[in-house]
Amino acid sequence: MRTPPRIPGRRLFRFPWRTAAQVATDVDEELQFHLDKVAQELAEEGWLPEAARAEALRRFGDLEGTRKYCRELDRSKETRMKWTHTLEALGQDIRFAVRQLWKSPGFTLVVVLTLALAMGATTSIFSVVHGILLRPLPFNEPDRLVRVFPQSNGEEGTFSYPNFRDWRAQSRTVTQAASAHAGSINLTGEGGEPERLIGMWVNAEFFSILGVRPLAGRWFAAGEDRPGGPAVVVISEELWERRYGRDPGLVGRAISLGGRPYTVIGVVDREEKFPEYAEVWIPLGFTNENLEERASVYLAALARLAPGATLEEARSEAKVIADRLARQYPGANKGLGIGLEPLQDSLVGEVRTELLVLLGAVLFVLLIACVNVANLLLVRSTAREGEVAVRSALGAGPGRIVRQLLTESLILALAGGAAGIGLAVWATKALVAVAPSQIPRIEEVGVDAPVLLFALAITLATGLLSGLAPAVQAARPNLVGALKEGARGSRSRAATRARNVLVVGEIALAVMLLAGAGLLLRSFARLQNVDLGFQTENVLKFHITLPETRYDEDAKLRAFVDGLTERLEALPEVETAGAAYYSLPLVGGVNVWSFTIDGRPPVPEGQEDVMRAGVATPGFLRALGISIARGRAFDERDREGSTQVAVLNEAAASRFFPGEDPLGKRLVLGTNDDGSPNQFEIVGIFRDIKQNTLQEEIEPQMLLPYAQAPLASLAVVVRTRSDPAAMTAAAAAQVREIDPDLPIYAVRTMEEVVAMSAAQPKFSMLLLGGFAAIALVLAAVGIYGVIAYAVRQRAQEIGIRMALGATRTRVLRMVVRQGLTLAVLGALLGLVGALFATRGMRSLLYEVSAADPAIYVLVALVLVLVAAVASYLPARRASRTEPQLALRGEA
């Protein structure tokens, strides 16, 4: 009576997904069919057609409601089916890919390891970059915080209080501003040994500007920073923990700082402290005399931009204010400018280049790894041409094939990424542990959520990047050819070209990395061999600051230094000991004095020459082995009351006494109390010693005898007969015996001091060197892979050549030449690339040009050599081909 429904087999193949409109039409058609059938039935019973249709409608019930209800249901079913289908297909792809990869464990392992290494390195470098450069500061709206600084002639400086106050009063683009200066102070009494703390002297707005809450207690109240305000202090969480065991009762109690009681009013959370090296914060409490001293500059400033104000607006406003202040106070403010920069930029300033170079380098490594994997996949996909052709012939579309191959490379990337993250967690910890402590915010570095997100992103990018070329290559099937030839490549020429291009690119990248690493290595070697001008072996240094409350006369300072030197030199292990002020090399701090030279025409006030100045005892010069080029060093005869003397470094002698003999000339340093010029006779020239850093050029420097210019802040050096570090306790004991309330701090051997100033370049060099090594290995593997594959492909041809009389050497040469051609091409490209890329790292290089020809030639040679070895191995195999086997296609 009715034809059996034909059930088309559409589900077995492609399901034509229905649109919402199609779903609606289907429902309408179904219902209409029903209504027509009922009407027809009624008509057969004798109803008139009109009436039958009406009756059918009536009997149906709620037609519109049903229509809507069914459409809704069908649409949701359609959507669900689409999803299930997609997931099923994906599941199929994944299962298939895993099976395929499982079948070639060697290939899979090499690829996953390569990717894990590269992604681990990239992720861990990114975690450092993120933690230091990108992660917002832990303050309220940190992007609104700016550092404000005066500048003149492009040099950044610090504010005097009046200038800060006037800028603050006139600025409309900032809501709050803080001023502060850093210093250090002795902590004594309760809780342990005396210690030296780094402190910040701040105005009352300092903490509220940051928008953080105290861990305990409160911040400074308005007015607490006025001259003669209360002695209150905010301390760091670390100090609270270390010395007072987090005693909650400490807030409200007094601690002894610099010999005075200060009441603790608050504790700063260790995550939120600023700056990160400070341990105590003390109200500025301006003294009346330097309050109005416009030339006395010592304040750093911090401000919060007003809502709606941009940095640009604040900058142009600052320029207007600075010009006004310069006109108003031409004496102190000549050429005054005021600059602003985001606080975050100012914190990371110096390491930015280094980190970006490292990130760039590690991305190169990742790129090389991608190229390598792409190459391996390409080789593999060529080998699988037969399989792909069969699948295409069975109806798999090119989209499906691409998807299948991309699934494979994504799975490889995900496996590599997962292993890489594991590696990165470990590597990041190791990096933080070995990183030089001078790098700001380094302890905040870790593998956190944004870093993981980055790792995921590079994993996906890697999967796509390395899988795309092989996939596209495979999706252009030449069915007939491939099926006919079996597994032997039909598109091998195109595939070979693709592989060659990849290898050349890989070599170029490796050359660029090697060049960068080579430059840093050479620069570091230069630094290591730099002439320090002093001896570092067996020298210990530490610092002492004599509190001015108790050491209020020059005589007391001299007595302390003489007593300490005598006691230290009495120790059997000590050869000689001495003390100095701003003379110790490589520990930072600059002290510059202006001077005139007696007998020369007078210079207008404010235009005197300046040079670095330090004060030292004779023992200090002996302990550091500073050698005298001419004249004499000062000695024990240069006392208070005897002729005042000075020694200059060679730079000062040649700068200020060109063509003259400085010995016997007199430097004038201001005036004595009675108005007479304060003169120092130059008695010797000492050989230049390094000043603040290893890299910088030596500036003119004078040294005065401590006895004739005593100061309270001391660096003490001790030359020992044995291990200097072992002397620490004995030295501290000697200091305590003279004054039990004096902490010694920053205790280090001079060898450590030198190592620390080279720590950052060393860190970059080691990392970049490591990356370059990885890159070199990857490039070698890449060349090897391509040549080995080419040899296998050309086995027949080689067999024929040998059958026709080609010697082994000839075959060997032919194959190696192929590898070398790629290497030379890649090396040339890489050298050109390096010329551009290494420009970014100029500031990291010491006495090495970014285009250093020796390094470039060396790098190119290394690469070509590696390429030669990498192609020699497959070439040797090729030269041992048995022509018989090769001709039969069995080699």
Partner 1 sequence: MPKTSLELLHGTVAVLILKTLTWGPMHGYDISRSIRQRSDGALGLEDAALYQALHRLERKDWIEAEWGLSENNRRAKFYRLTVEGKRQLQAELSSWQAYVEAVSKVLEVETA
Can you give the binding site for partner 1, defined by CB under 8 A? 1-8, 26-27, 29-31, 33-34, 36-38, 59-63, 65-66, 69-70, 73-74, 76-77
Q: Using the minimum distance from each CB to partner 1, give the nearer residue, 66 or 287.
A: 66
Q: Using the minimum distance from each CB to partner 1, give the nearer residue, 29 or 88.
A: 29
Residue 637 burial by CB count (10 A; 0-12/13-18/19+): exposed, middle or buried?
Answer: exposed
Minimum distance, C-beta of residue 28 to partner 1, in the bound complex (Å): 11
Q: Using the minimum distance from each CB to partner 1, give the nearer residue, 4 or 106.
A: 4
Minimum distance, C-beta of residue 371 to partner 1, in the bound complex (Å): 48
Look at the block and give the residue holding tokens 């007969």: 721
Minimum distance, C-beta of residue 9 to partner 1, in the bound complex (Å): 10
Residue 330 burial by CB count (10 A; 0-12/13-18/19+): exposed, middle or buried?
Answer: exposed
Minimum distance, C-beta of residue 35 to partner 1, in the bound complex (Å): 9
Minimum distance, C-beta of residue 92 to partner 1, in the bound complex (Å): 20
Q: How far apart are CA 510 and CA 515, in angstroms?
A: 8
| Structure letter (DSSP) for residue 697 | P
Minimum distance, C-beta of residue 95 to partner 1, in the bound complex (Å): 23
Contact between residue 822 and residue 867 where contact means Cβ atoms under 8 Å apart: yes
E strand or H helix at 629? strand 628-631
How many residues appear in the chain? Answer: 891
Q: Using the minimum distance from each CB to partner 1, give the nearer residue, 88 or 660.
A: 88
Residue 344 is which amino acid? Q
Minimum distance, C-beta of residue 3 to partner 1, in the bound complex (Å): 6
Q: How far apart are CA 77 and CA 63, in angstroms?
A: 21
Q: Using the minimum distance from each CB to partner 1, give the nearer residue, 36 or 552.
A: 36
Q: Using the minimum distance from each CB to partner 1, give the nearer residue, 63 or 182.
A: 63
Pick from 650, 724, 633: nearest CA to 689:
650
Q: How far apart are CA 708 and CA 678, in angstroms?
A: 11
- How far lies 103's CA from each of 70, 114, 471, 614, in Å? 49, 19, 19, 74
Contact between residue 136 and residue 344 where contact means Cβ atoms under 8 Å apart: yes
Q: What number of other Cβ atoms are within 10 A of residue 92's Cβ?
A: 12
Minimum distance, C-beta of residue 311 to partner 1, in the bound complex (Å): 59
Contact between residue 427 and residue 124 where contact means Cβ atoms under 8 Å apart: yes
Minimum distance, C-beta of residue 94 to partner 1, in the bound complex (Å): 24
Q: Using the minimum distance from each CB to partner 1, give the nearer residue, 7 or 169.
A: 7
Residue 431 token pair: 């990096």
Residue 351 is which amino acid? V
Minimum distance, C-beta of residue 17 to partner 1, in the bound complex (Å): 15
Q: What is the 3 state secondary structure string of 61-95? A: CCHHHHHHHHHHHHHHHHHHHHHHHHHHHHHHHHH
Q: Using the minimum distance from each CB to partner 1, give the nearer residue, 65 or 399.
A: 65
Q: Using the minimum distance from each CB to partner 1, give the nearer residue, 9 or 664.
A: 9
Q: Using the minimum distance from each CB to partner 1, give the nearer residue, 6 or 103.
A: 6
Residue 421 is which amino acid? I
Q: What number of other Cβ atoms are within 10 A of residue 230's Cβ?
A: 15
In order, the DSSP letters of 784-838 are HHHHHHHHHHTHHHHHHHHHTT--HHHHHHHHHHHHHHHHHHHHHHHHHHHHHHG
Q: Using the minimum distance from each CB to partner 1, give the nearer residue, 25 or 328.
A: 25
Q: Using the minimum distance from each CB to partner 1, give the nearer residue, 26 or 293.
A: 26
Q: Using the minimum distance from each CB to partner 1, give the nearer residue, 51 or 487.
A: 51
Q: What number of other Cβ atoms are within 10 A of residue 432's Cβ?
A: 18
Q: How far apart are CA 164 and CA 178, in angstroms?
A: 9
Q: What is the 3 state secondary structure string of 394-436? A: CCCCHHHHHHHHHHHHHHHHHHHHHHHHHHHHHHHHHHHHHCC
Q: How far apart are CA 464 and CA 410, in angstroms?
A: 7
Q: Using the minimum distance from each CB to partner 1, give the nearer residue, 69 or 426.
A: 69
Peptide bond before residue 275 is cis, with ω within 30 degrees of 0: yes
| Structure letter (DSSP) for residue 11 | G
Q: How far apart are CA 689 and CA 709, in angstroms?
A: 21
Q: How far apart are CA 258 and CA 552, in angstroms?
A: 13
Minimum distance, C-beta of residue 63 to partner 1, in the bound complex (Å): 7
Q: How far apart are CA 171 and CA 325, in angstroms?
A: 12
Minimum distance, C-beta of residue 90 to partner 1, in the bound complex (Å): 21
Q: Using the minimum distance from each CB to partner 1, give the nearer residue, 80 or 319.
A: 80
Minimum distance, C-beta of residue 1 to partner 1, in the bound complex (Å): 6
Q: Using the minimum distance from each CB to partner 1, give the nearer residue, 63 or 468.
A: 63
Q: Using the minimum distance from each CB to partner 1, give the nearer residue, 6 or 99.
A: 6
Contact between residue 750 and residue 536 where contact means Cβ atoms under 8 Å apart: yes
Minimum distance, C-beta of residue 451 to partner 1, in the bound complex (Å): 44
E strand or H helix at 155? strand 155-156
E strand or H helix at 637? none
Residue 552 token pair: 């209020």
Contact between residue 138 and residue 212 where contact means Cβ atoms under 8 Å apart: yes
